[in-house]
Amino acid sequence: MVEMLPYLLIGALAGSGISGFIAYKLLSHARREAAELENQLRSHSFELQITLDELAEKNRLLEKQSRTDSLSGVFNRASFDQQMRAEIKRSRREQRPLALVLLDIDHFKRINDSLGHLAGDQAIKAVADIIQQQLKRPADKVCRYGGEEFALILPTTDLQGAEQLAEQIRLALQNCELTLNGQPYQLTLSAGCYASIPEADSDNDEYIRFADEALYRAKHLGRNQIQSYPSVISVSADAATGVLHEH
């Protein structure tokens, strides 16, 4: 039995060595698999992040398209309704005036009848561009209200400030040399202004009704002019331009 002891020790050592080698190989293999799995996870996470970023960008574009008028590039009627409600709530809470200006291209039907609908589209784009050029504050929004009519949402603006901005836009359009369907054309517009600090029951319809009444008066009095509700302050077609009141 004593004679077998060296062999047993050798066998035990050999077994330990083999077991250690096998364990080392298994551990190395496991580490390689873990590293490969980690690399795959990083790669998939990176690809997933790219996909999520692309999806978010597409959602932003879709949201922008849903809020933008495809012809003029300004906010559409649905966006007007939403933003107007939000501004009424904010103005009521802060007790600051909110102004609405409705602007209508004069004799727009004549453009479509005499020059065609393509010229009418060009006129709408041109007026939208001119209006946007006159807006200096990020909070001021221009929307295509419908057809040839636009709406300006002017937070923290009183009636005089709304009239002055509307007059700036009217003069800018009157002094602009436009070409519609290859022909020179003089465009003018009429505008109706309304401003107030909203009451508890104030809503979109109230602002639209009073601004529209002022717009109707501007057209009835000969077009190419600014009128307001109430009609205590008005800016005629020959009045000098002013600066929008900053509050």
Both 93 and 178 in a single domain? yes
Which SS3 state, helix, strand or coil, does residue 191 take?
Answer: strand
Respond yes or no on whether the N-terminal peptide bond of residue 155 is cis (omega within 30° of 0): no
Both 97 and 213 in a single domain? yes
In the chain, % of residues over pLDDT 70: 78
From the list 33, 36, 54, 148, the catalytic residue is: 148
Q: Which amino acid is at 35?
A: A
Contact in structure between 234 and 214 (CB atoms under 8 Å): no
Q: Which residue has the tokens 């070409």?
A: 179
Both 58 and 102 in a single domain? no
* Domain span holding position 203: 77-229
Annotation says 3 is catalytic: no
Measure the CA–CA gap between 217 and 225, rounded to whole angstroms.
10
Residue 238 has pLDDT above 90, yes or no: no
Q: Give the number of domains in the chain.
A: 2
Q: Which amino acid is at 137?
A: R
Both 212 and 159 in a single domain? yes
Which SS3 state, helix, strand or coil, does residue 53 take?
Answer: helix
Enclosing H/E stretch for 149: strand 149-155
- What pLDDT band is residue 235 in, cutting at 50, 70 and 90? very low
Q: Is residue 247 part of a domain?
A: no
Where do the H-state alpha helices sit in 95-158? 108-115, 117-134
Per-residue pLDDT tens for 122-136?
999 999 999 999 999
Per-residue pLDDT tens for 37-78?
888 888 777 776 776 666 655 556 555 568 999 999 999 999
Secondary structure letter of residue 202 according to DSSP = -
- Please tell me the chain's helix, strand, coil percentages from 3-state DSSP, rounded to the nearest 5: 55, 15, 25
| Boundary-marking domain end, from 48, 67, 86 | 67
Both 87 and 54 in a single domain? no
Q: Name which residue leads in pLDDT, 7 or 86.
A: 86
In the chain, % of residues over pLDDT 90: 66
Contact in structure between 136 and 77 (CB atoms under 8 Å): no
Q: Is residue 158 part of a domain?
A: yes
